[in-house]
Amino acid sequence: MNIQQPRSSVTAPNDLGAYWMPFTANRAFKATPRMLAGAKDMHYFTTDGRQIIDGAAGMWCSNAGHCRPAISEAIAKQAATLDFAPPFQFGHPQAFELASRIVGLAPKGLDHVFFCNSGSEAVDTALKIALAYHATKGDAARTRLIGRERGYHGVGFGGISVGGLVNNRKLFGSLLAGVDHLPTTYDREKQAFTKGEPEWGAHLADELERIVGIHGASTIAAVIVEPMAGSTGVLVAPKGYLKRLREICDKYGILLIFDEVITGFGRLGYAFAAERYGVLPDMITFAKGITNGAVPMGGVLIRGDIHDTFMKGPEHIVEFFHGYTYSAHPLACAAGLATLDLYREEKLFERARGLEPMWADAVMTLRNEPNVVDIRTVGITAGIDLATKNNAPGLRGMEALGSAFFDHDLMLRVAGDTLALTPPLIVTEAQVGEIIDKVARVIRAVA
Ligand SMILES: Cc1ncc(COP(=O)(O)O)c(C=O)c1O
């Protein structure tokens, strides 16, 4: 089947000036635009008619591949039936159905869902639930939030406050008061070229004890971590680390939030990484894969008794003063339901689990390519660190992004000088080979 789109189907715009692009080197982009016009399954199509293999699932979202008819058709049907329903004081059936379906996939005990529209909103929602939960229980002194160095939790003020990436924080004022950070779990000397969870690093969870020692447990509301820190370059949780964090949180009555915006919906071979690690957090944030990236949606899974704490007082009063105009948007719910059907029918989470050893072996073949200083893999994800070029962090990464797109018909993600690979879970073994071969050629091209 020829899946190439006609060159004339989408033309490149002449004027790129007005759009201020997010997290983009705008001037460099506008000088040599990487313009996408279409997508199907494992590929993107460019406005100049090239077919690009997607090594990034868009941006960690399109786990079932692109433009899957079941999802597109569900969205179109929903748009023609109920385009919008106010989520405050009104509902629509798909919202309730989707919440139940997500709960069905979640670890037992997480049995309520609060919907929003992005990972950033999910994180801010979870942090607010944590604060309000303690306050509602009469524990109003528990206001301190703990994140982690090199953590990424989106771009809301809550998310950048608990996040640990300096560029996302340093220009934005005082952020939230009362935030501390655990140390990063990454140490190249101890962990380089590990497949899956590193042996070294569980003890870093004990730093939470130190923070408790400084502030007192009675001031700490919640800890938020990514089970696998994706945006900072694929940092995999060391063996036993998350369990240890859970134990310390339990000891001191601190809520544990897993930010699963990337790891949710199959990326690590399970519906949620919590299942992979056998650790039950009090809340899970999700986004991206819930709709296969086709419509913006995010949400928070919440432990039953936390939810129930709010369900008190006069019944005509709103229980939680939070929400978004587009919470549980009908199009997002339709996309979510169709996406979950597809994940189930095609057993994509199991598929990812089965593919992981082959994937990890294939990625590790890159270790002898020039300037490769570390490779990490987990699930269908890999981070490949390249040595910094000319004392200019991020330069080699940007060159790799351009070389991949223009010269090797490959989409990958970069974080500084780290290449992140995270293809759709429908990727075949032959396509894994193709992606790795292209990455090798990209790495040589930017040597
Ligand atoms: C762990 C994590 N949390 C939150 C976010 C923010 O999601 P969004 O860009 O949808 O706001 C991301 C985005 O990559 C993420 O990786």
Span 99-116, mean pLDDT?
A: 98
In the predicted structure, residue 7 carries a pLDDT above the cut 60: no
How many angstroms is it from 159 CA to the middle of ligand 1? 9
Q: Which amino acid is at 441?
A: R
**Domain boundaries 72-345, corresponding CATH code:** 3.40.640.10
User: Dihedral through CA 331, CA 335, CA 336, CA 338, nearest 10?
Assistant: 140
CA proximity to 139, closest of 218, 63, 62, 217: 218
CA distances from 267 to 51, 243, 246, 353 (A): 24, 20, 22, 9
Atom of ligand 1 nearest to the CA of 229: 1
How far is it, in rounded angstroms, from Cα 3 to Cα 435?
A: 18
Specify the 3-state DSSP secondary structure of 377. strand
* Residue that the structure tokens 């689990």 belong to: 353
* CB neighbourhood size of 354 (10 A): 12
How many angstroms is it from 313 CA to the middle of ligand 1? 34
User: Dihedral through CA 296, CA 324, CA 166, CA 280, nearest 10?
Assistant: -80
How far is it, in rounded angstroms, from Cα 357 to Cα 379?
A: 9
Mutate to test the pocket of ligand 1, among 62, 127, 152 (most ligand atoms within 8 A of CB): 152
In the predicted structure, residue 74 carries a pLDDT above the cut 50: yes
Span 123-143, mean pLDDT?
A: 97
CA distances from 51 to 14, 330, 411 (A): 22, 32, 10
Q: What is the pLDDT at residue 225?
A: 98
Q: What is the pLDDT at residue 170?
A: 94
Q: What is the pLDDT at residue 280?
A: 98
Give residues with Cβ within 8 angstroms of 371, minimum separation 6: 386, 387, 389, 396, 443, 446, 447
In the predicted structure, residue 209 carries a pLDDT above the cut 50: yes
In the predicted structure, residue 253 carries a pLDDT above the cut 70: yes
- Domain positions in the chain: 26-64+347-445, 72-345
Q: What is the pLDDT at residue 2?
A: 45
**Confidence at 18, pLDDT banded by 50, 70, 90:** very high
Span 76-101, mean pLDDT?
A: 98
**Confidence at 9, pLDDT banded by 50, 70, 90:** low
Residue identifier of the C-alpha nearest atom 13 of ligand 1:
154
Mutate to test the pocket of ligand 1, among 120, 121, 257 (most ligand atoms within 8 A of CB): 120
In the predicted structure, residue 216 carries a pLDDT above the cut 90: yes
Q: What is the overall mean pLDDT for the chain?
A: 96
> Exposure of 172 by Cβ count < 10 A (0-12 exposed, 13-18 middle, 19+ buried)?
exposed
How far is it, in rounded angstroms, from Cα 199 to Cα 238?
A: 6
How many angstroms is it from 261 CA to the middle of ligand 1? 6
Atom of ligand 1 nearest to the CA of 59: 14
Q: What is the pLDDT at residue 6?
A: 45
Q: What is the pLDDT at residue 8?
A: 44
How many angstroms is it from 315 CA to the middle of ligand 1? 34
Tens of pLDDT, residues 140-161:
999 999 999 999 999 999 999 9
Span 160-175, mean pLDDT?
A: 95
pTM comes to 0.97
Span 180-207, mean pLDDT?
A: 98
Residue 259: phi and psi, rounded to 5, are -90, 100
Class of CATH domain 26-64+347-445: alpha beta
Q: What is the pLDDT at residue 12?
A: 80
Record the tokens describing residue 297, joined without a space: 């949606």
Q: What is the pLDDT at residue 11?
A: 76
Atom of ligand 1 nearest to the CA of 231: 16
Residues with CB under 6 A from ligand 1: 118-120, 123, 152-154, 226, 230-231, 259, 261-262, 287
Atom of ligand 1 nearest to the CA of 156: 11
**Confidence at 14, pLDDT banded by 50, 70, 90:** confident
How many angstroms is it from 118 CA to the middle of ligand 1? 7
In the predicted structure, residue 168 carries a pLDDT above the cut 90: yes
Quick one: what percent of the chain has pLDDT higher than 70?
A: 98
User: Which runs of consecutive H residues, i.e. helices, occur in 4-146?
Assistant: 26-31, 57-60, 69-81, 93-105, 119-136
How far is it, in rounded angstroms, from Cα 418 to Cα 382?
A: 10
